[in-house]
Structure 1
Amino acid sequence: MINGQGTGPRVARLDELGPADVPAVLALAGAAGVADGADPLSEHVTLRLRHAGAGPASHLVVRDPAGPLVGYGFLEGPDEAGEVDAELVVHPGWRRQGVGRALVSAALSGVPESGALLVWAHSDHPSAAALALDLGLHRSRVLWQLRRSLRDPLPEVGLPAGVAIRAFRPGVDDEAWLAVNRRAFASHPEQGRWNSAELRLRLGEPWFDPAGFLLAVEESSGRLLGFHWTKVHDRTEAATPIGEVYVLGVDPDSHGLGLGRALTLAGLHHLRDAGLSRVMLYVDESNAGAMALYARLGFANWLRHVRYRWSDTPTAA
C-alpha cells in the first residue's frame, strides 16, 4: 500500500485488476463522465480494461472504508525514454478529499530517475489544473474536440481525377491500411504506433461498420492513398447518437491532391446519410493545418483535453 500525504487516502498499486474491478472502474468512469461532460478515460485505456492481456499496464486504486472504488489510475511504462503515461479518475462524490493528489503522488513514485510522467486531464477540469500547478506538472499538449452540425449544408466531395472511394475490407486491407497509417502519423505519439493487434481490437468493437471505413484508392492500381474511418457513438434509444471523424489520414506521397478535404467530406456525407445530425472529431491544437481545414468545413471548438508533464529535468520537456 502507498500512503497519501498525512492521513489521506491510501493507494494500492496492482499489476492486474480482479474480476470485479473492471466493471467498478468503468462505473466510476461513467459517473465522472456524467458529472464532467467528458469521458475521463480514453478509448485506448477503456479497450485495455475490457480486453485482458491487450497490453502491459499497472493500476492504482483507492477505496473508501466500506470497500467501493472511489479513485483509479491507469499507468503504462516507463518506455525507453523513461516516460510513464497515466490517466486518472476520481468519483465526483470524493473530490476535494485528497484522492486525486494521492493518485498523482503514487504515479510519480513509479517514474524512473531522469524520466517523466505524462497525465491527461480530459475536459481540462479546473481542479486538474490546480493540482498540476501544486505538484509541478506543466501543460505539454492540448487536444481539441471539435463539433459540427450535419443539418447544415455540406460541400460536394470533389475527388481528384483517377481516385475512387470504397469501403474497407477486414482481413484484406489490414496490412495496407496499417502501412499508410504509420506513414501518415509517423510523428503522432499514439496513432502512429498502431499495430495489427490495435486494429483488430477496434474491428471487433460493436460500433465497427466497414461501410463507414472509407478508403481512397488509385483507380489504375488499387493503391491505398488515404482513408477516413468514421464512428457512431451512443446509438441507443436513451441517447442521441453522434458521429465521429475517428481517424483520417493521407499517405505523404499523396499530399497536394486535396484528399484530406475530399475524404473528410466523404465521411461527413456518409454519417449524414446514416441519419446522424451531428459529428465530432479530435485534433491536436499544434496541428495548424488540420485546425484550419476543419474550421473551413464548419467545425467549432467544443472542449479540450490537456496533457500535463512532470520531469526532474524540466528544460528537456
Structure 2
Amino acid sequence: MSAVRVLSELDPATTAAVRDLAVAAGRADGREPFSEQFLINLRGGARAGVTHLVVGTAEAADRTGGGLVGAGDALAGYAQLDGTSAELAVHPDHRRRGIGGALLAELTARAPELDVWAHGDLPAAAALAASRGLERARVLWQMRRTPEAGALPAPTVPDGVTIRPFVVGEDEADFLRVNNAAFHWHPEQGGWALEQVREREAEDWFDPEGFLLAVDADGTLLGYHWTKVHSPTAAEPAMGEVYVLGVDPAAHGRGLGRVLTLAGLHHLAARGLDTVLLYVEADNAPAVRVYEKLGFAVHATDVMYST
C-alpha cells in the first residue's frame, strides 16, 4: 500500500482520478460515496478548512515516485476533511489492504473531534468505524416516491400567498434569511452564506424555474422548495429531488410545508420525472409522517459516525 499523502489542493489528474474512484465505488456499493458539498470542494483549487488525503496505487507510486497519480492512473483511496466532517472511499480493486484504516487513522489524528459520513449502511463501513472507536451519531434516510404511489393531490395555496420561481440576482438574500431561520439547528443546511448559493447556481443542474418561492401579498418570502433533477445513469433513471424545503418559523401553522412540497412535485412531474427522492433525518418523525402521507418510502440509509 502506498503512503497516505495529505494535500491542500488536488491537481487535475488526481481530481479526475477521485471522480473515477467515486463512480467505481458507487457501482460496487449501490450508493455514491461522496456528498454534494464534498464534490464541490474538489473544484477551484485550495479551500479554507478542506484537506485531501490520497492513497495512490502501487503502480502509480512506482512511476511517480511519490504515490500520487498521473493522467490515466487509478486511485486506491481518497478521503476529504472539511472542518470536522469527513468522507472516504476505497476503490473496489484495492479493498481489504488496510487503505480505509490508514485513511481513517489519518483523519482522526488531524481531527480528534470527527464526524464521518458513510453513504449506505454497509457492514464494512460500520466495522471500519468501530475499529477506530467511532459510534453511530446520526442516521439520514433517503426516501423515494415512485409511480406506484399513485396520482399527486393538487396543492391548495392559502389566500394571499403566491408561488413563483426564484429570480437569480434578486432572491438570494431573502432565501438565506428564511433558510437560516428554518435550519438554525442543522449542521449542514443552517448558517449558509451567499457563497453556498452561488456555488449551486453554477451547477449544471441548477434551474431557477424549479426553485419555488411562496411569497405573501406584500412580497415577503414565507418559504421555498428548491428542486433538483438528477440525470440518468447506468444504474438509475432520471429522477427529481426535493433538494431542500424550508418555511420561515414565523409562517408556521399555515400549511405551507405541504403546499410547497406538492408544488415542487407537480413541477417535477410536468418534466416527466415520476420518481422523486429526498433526504430526511430518521428521527424527524413529523417530517417523515408528512412524506409518508405523500407516498414516500425509505429507499436507503446514510450514517454519520462520530468520535
TM-score (norm 1): 0.89
Cα deviation, residue 64, structure 1: 1.5
Partner secondary structure for residue 277 of structure 1: coil
Tell me what 2:209 maps to.
Answer: 211
Tell me what 1:105 maps to.
Answer: 105
Q: Which whole-Å CA distance do the structure 1 matches of 2:230 and 2:132 have between them?
A: 35
Q: Which whole-Å CA distance do the structure 1 matches of 2:169 and 2:134 have between them?
A: 43
1:28 counterpart (21, 26, 31): 21
| 8 Å CA contact 1:48, 1:55 repeated in 2 | no
Tell me what 2:113 maps to.
Answer: 116
- 1:93 and 2:93 equivalent? yes
- 1:10 and 2:3 equivalent? yes
Deviations 1:165-213 (A, max 9, x none): 0000000001011111000100000101221011001011111111100
Cα deviation, residue 51, structure 1: 3.1
Q: Which whole-Å CA distance do the structure 1 matches of 2:98 and 2:132 have between them?
A: 13
Tell me what 2:55 maps to.
Answer: 62
Q: Which whole-Å CA distance do the structure 2 matches of 1:273 and 1:223 have between them?
A: 27
1:287 counterpart (279, 284, 288): 284
| 8 Å CA contact 1:150, 1:276 repeated in 2 | no
| 8 Å CA contact 1:150, 1:272 repeated in 2 | no
Tell me what 1:154 maps to.
Answer: 152
Tell me what 1:263 maps to.
Answer: 260
Partner secondary structure for residue 20 of structure 1: helix
Partner secondary structure for residue 52 of structure 1: coil
Partner secondary structure for residue 96 of structure 1: coil
Partner secondary structure for residue 155 of structure 2: coil
| 8 Å CA contact 1:184, 1:249 repeated in 2 | yes
RMSD: 1.6
Cα deviation, residue 238, structure 1: 9.2
Deviations 1:16-71 (A, max 9, x none): 21221111111111110111111100000001102334543111111121113110
Deviations 1:115-165 (A, max 9, x none): 411100001111000111222110000010000114621111111111110
Using the TM superposition, name which of 30-39 and 164-173 deviates more.
30-39
1:134 counterpart (131, 135, 144): 131
Q: Which whole-Å CA distance do the structure 2 matches of 1:34 and 1:156 have between them?
A: 37
Q: Which whole-Å CA distance do the structure 1 matches of 2:47 and 2:254 have between them?
A: 37
Partner secondary structure for residue 205 of structure 2: coil
Q: Which whole-Å CA distance do the structure 2 matches of 1:260 and 1:51 have between them?
A: 36
Unaligned runs of 5+ in 1: 1-7, 78-83, 311-317
Q: In the comparison of the two structures, how many residue pairs are matched?
A: 293
Kindly provide the amino acid, as one letter, of the partner of residue 104 in structure 1.
Answer: L
**Over 4 Å off, 4+ runs:** 235-239
% same residue: 52
Q: 1:116 to 1:170 in 2, by over 3 A?
A: same
2:163 counterpart (158, 162, 165): 165
Cα deviation, residue 108, structure 1: 1.0
1:38 counterpart (31, 35, 52): 31
Q: Which whole-Å CA distance do the structure 2 matches of 1:73 and 1:105 have between them?
A: 11
TM-score (norm 2): 0.92
| 8 Å CA contact 1:246, 1:281 repeated in 2 | yes
| 8 Å CA contact 2:8, 2:47 repeated in 1 | no
Q: 1:179 to 1:301 in 2, by over 3 A?
A: same
